[in-house]
Chain A
């Protein structure tokens, strides 16, 4: 195994291959890898930012929803109150109307019963007179006994 000129030839070949690799083979790939690495890093950063803004948006949305809910509850409560007062009002109105009707009916009833009583009194007096006539078999003079009849009427 002698050291020969082969060594020099191989060294020249090596130098050429190094030059070729350094100059032409490696740089495009290195650039591509570096660019892609940067792109990925940028993309990840963007995604992180997007995530953060999503959280903020979510918070905003939550706030708006909570506000809307509170407002809706307020409106419902107001409506409830309104309804209750309306019901109360119509109830009392109805009651008043009923009372009025009832009072009118009562008055009519009273009037009618008084009238009936009057009639009854007249009729009872007549019947009593008729009964007494039959018992005594003679006519009783109403004028003579008017004080008696009046007394009787008053008693009924």
Chain B
């Protein structure tokens, strides 16, 4: 359907533009990417609603198929986190489960055919709809900053206020007063680098994957041969994303667990 656009780059740009609502006439920070928020929330409601419906009927005896699925998922997260964190891990496992399920679902929106969504939303009068919330830096940054917020919270909780402040100024180089500023700068860099790397890794992977999907979709503009070739390429890229989608969610979950485990470590 690239014919409806003036150039391929316009087609790609259109499909990567968020549906926005300005809450302030000046725009800027006060705009909301409605598609990202609605997709993310709806997926969260579906995913966690489904898990909650299983959880309510949970039995200690022989589990049903749905419960077995949930248990496999839970045990998977639990096993991973057991390796990096040795304390009471109930909260971290729940957090990891939440992160893994939600990000997987959001990433999985890539599997939906890009052009069908765009055309479908255009039919009901919605000009833009970017389907993958994790291909929006706002979403990934929201996730990673929340995680870092939790890391700071757990640092205070595990080491006490004085203990964490002491760590901020006295590690990694030592407690000599002249080293305090250097230590603090290093700690700040770490605190900024962690959420940035988390957010940019997920965002970059998803955004790049989305662009490739759109480039493949452009092939359909080259006639019947392009449609067939594009379909094959699309299938291949989608199959590859069966790996990428859960892998990125897994990496995000593991790093979340590792950061929180590090927050509990005493220097």
Contacts and interface: CB of A to CB of B under 8 A. Distances in A.
B140 to A, nearest CB: 9
Contacts, number: 129
A30 B95 CA distance: 13
Nearest to B63: A32
Contact of B136 (A6, A18, A26): A6
A83 to B, nearest CB: 66
Contact of B90 (A1, A9, A30): A30
B31 A5 contact: yes
Nearest to B203: A1
Contacts of B63: 32
Given A4-B29, A6-B32, A13-B40, A33 B55 contact: no
Interface in B133-155: 133, 136-139, 141-143, 145-146
A3 interface: yes
A109 B11 CA distance: 150
B56 A10 contact: no
B51 interface: yes
Contacts of B90: 26-27, 30
Contacts of B75: 33
A20 B36 contact: no
B39 to A, nearest CB: 11
B102 A2 contact: no
Chain B interface mostly helix, strand, loop or mixed? helix
B162 interface: no
Contacts of B146: 11, 14-15, 18
A7 B141 contact: yes
B44 interface: yes
A29 to B, nearest CB: 5
A25 B48 CA distance: 7
A35 B60 contact: yes
Interface residues of B, number: 49
Interface in B177-217: none
B107 interface: no
Chain A interface mostly helix, strand, loop or mixed? helix
A113 interface: no
Contact of B142 (A8, A20, A22, A30): A8
A21 B48 CA distance: 7
Contacts of B30: 4-5
Given A3-B137, A28-B55, A29-B74, A22 B94 contact: yes
Given A10-B138, A26-B74, A5 B98 contact: no
Pick the most buried of B56, B75, B139: most chain A CB atoms within 10 A of its CB. B139
Contact of B60 (A7, A18, A25, A36): A36
Nearest to A26: B94
Contacts of A26: 55, 74, 90, 93-94, 97
A32 B48 CA distance: 18
Contacts of A1: 136-137
B206 to A, nearest CB: 12
Contacts of B94: 18, 21-22, 25-27, 30
Interface string B78-122: 000000000000110111011001100000000000000000000
Contacts of B259: none
Given A26-B55, A32-B63, 4 more contacts: A10-B40, A13-B44, A18-B98, A26-B97
12 contacts: A3-B29, A5-B32, A7-B138, A9-B37, A18-B94, A18-B146, A21-B97, A25-B51, A25-B55, A25-B98, A29-B74, A36-B61
